[in-house]
Amino acid sequence: MRLATWNVNSLAVRLPQVLEWLAAHPQDAMVLQETKLTDDKFPHAEFEAAGYDAKWFGQRTYNGVALLTRGDGPADLLRNIPGFEDEQARVIAGTVGGAGGLRVIGAYFPNGQEPGSDKFAYKLRWMEALRDWVRAELATHPNLVLMGDFNIAPEDRDVYDPMLWAGQIHCTPEERAHFRQLLELGLADAFRLFEQPPKSWSWWDYRNLAFRKNQGLRIDHILVSDALKGQVRACGIDKLPRKNERPSDHAPVFVELT
């Protein structure tokens, strides 16, 4: 089973690249973030033509998420965190493979802008709500994957210049504590289950030739539940799409389960 996540930074711009990537790397489930499309504009026909069922949840200008799956489409679909009032479209979840199947949660964590800001406070509240909800999901779905753009670099080795980024957004102690709390629910960072090349990032700033200089952060993640941990065969980041002519600033992250 193959699963992937990609922050596409506008699906209107990146649809051809997503279809191209899926053609080269077929997935059983893929989640997208930052589609930036209202629901009436979602290109579901293009995904259906490529063999994918699509579920989507978007809004104007910002945010927006989608869940692409092979087959009949996911069960028990959820949009955003139950009980958490949110005007922003950031979460989509569904179960693939029928009853007792795999619970797939795609999430676009808030950026947070700057520690101490209103947006940072929203990020913290949002992460608390997510954690509490994922805990409940795990209780009913032991086979669970939480993946997406976390906007958190969990450790210094996930940052090209940890001194420069110390205490900055994505790297604050509060954000990292929240990431650890997710792991403590019984989830594992699939990327770190394997030997990985040093300086592995999933995002590079558009500015300052950051990609060419490999100055980036690893902020896109795939967390697998303890029940699935033994089934993880591979996890990696595909940098190639970042070399496209009009790339997203993020690269897709993928995992293979037996």
Alpha helices in 37-191 (DSSP H): 44-49, 118-140, 162-165, 173-184
Does residue 207 interact with DNA by CB under 7 A? yes
Binding mask 116-135 for DNA (x = CB under 7 A): ---x----------------
* Euclidean distance between CA atoms 82 and 172, whole angstroms: 27
Residue 167 gets the label, from left (phi > 0), alpha (psi -120 to 50) or beta, of: left
CA separation (Å) from 191 to 27, 202, 223? 17, 11, 8
Cα dihedral 143→155→248→116 (10° resolution)? 100
Q: Residue 188's CB: how many other CB atoms inside 10 A?
A: 17
What element of type H or E holds 188? strand 187-189
Closest distance of CB 214 from DNA, Å: 13
Single-letter code of the amino acid located at 179: F
65/232 with CB nearer DNA: 65
Does residue 151 interact with DNA by CB under 7 A? yes
Does residue 110 interact with DNA by CB under 7 A? yes
- Find how far residue 98's CA is from the centre of its chain: 23
Does residue 152 interact with DNA by CB under 7 A? no
228/253 with CB nearer DNA: 253
Contact region with DNA (CB under 7 A), list: 18-26, 127-135, 190-198, 206-214: 206-214
Does residue 62 interact with DNA by CB under 7 A? yes
Q: Is 108 a catalytic residue?
A: yes
167/198 with CB nearer DNA: 167
Does residue 34 interact with DNA by CB under 7 A? yes
Does residue 200 interact with DNA by CB under 7 A? no
Spatial contact of 95 and 102, defined as CB atoms under 8 Å apart: yes
Closest C-alpha to 181, from 227, 158, 150: 150
* Euclidean distance between CA atoms 54 and 93, whole angstroms: 12
Among 10, 181, 196, 200, binds DNA (CB under 7 A): 10
139/209 with CB nearer DNA: 209
- The single residue of 28, 53, 149, 249 carrying the catalytic annotation is 149
Q: Is 149 a catalytic residue?
A: yes
- Which residue bears the tokens 């190639």? 240
Does residue 175 interact with DNA by CB under 7 A? no
Contact region with DNA (CB under 7 A), list: 108-116, 135-143, 178-186, 224-232: 108-116
Closest distance of CB 207 from DNA, Å: 4
Which residues contribute to the site for DNA (CB under 7 A)? 7, 9-10, 12-13, 34, 36, 60-62, 110-111, 113-114, 119, 149, 151, 161, 164-165, 168-170, 203, 205-208, 217, 219, 246, 249
User: Mind telling me the catalytic residues?
Assistant: 108, 149
